[in-house]
Structure 1
């Protein structure tokens, strides 16, 4: 999924520009390498 597609989905789900911006930020954080979730996963594997 590319960023434009992500933006479209976020806007559709959110229903407003502000909520969409929040949704996009959350998606970017989740997909960013080195996020807390990824770090937690590596820690659990040790």
Structure 2
């Protein structure tokens, strides 16, 4: 599912065990709040 978030002060809640990534079309600032152990984060090459 693609969920556009092109306005300021937008948030998305991702359900547990759901694979997800953010693809941005311009510079952006994000904050990730991830509770729990064994969480993995990694950078991906620009599209």
More helix by share: 1
Structure label with greater radius of gyration: 1
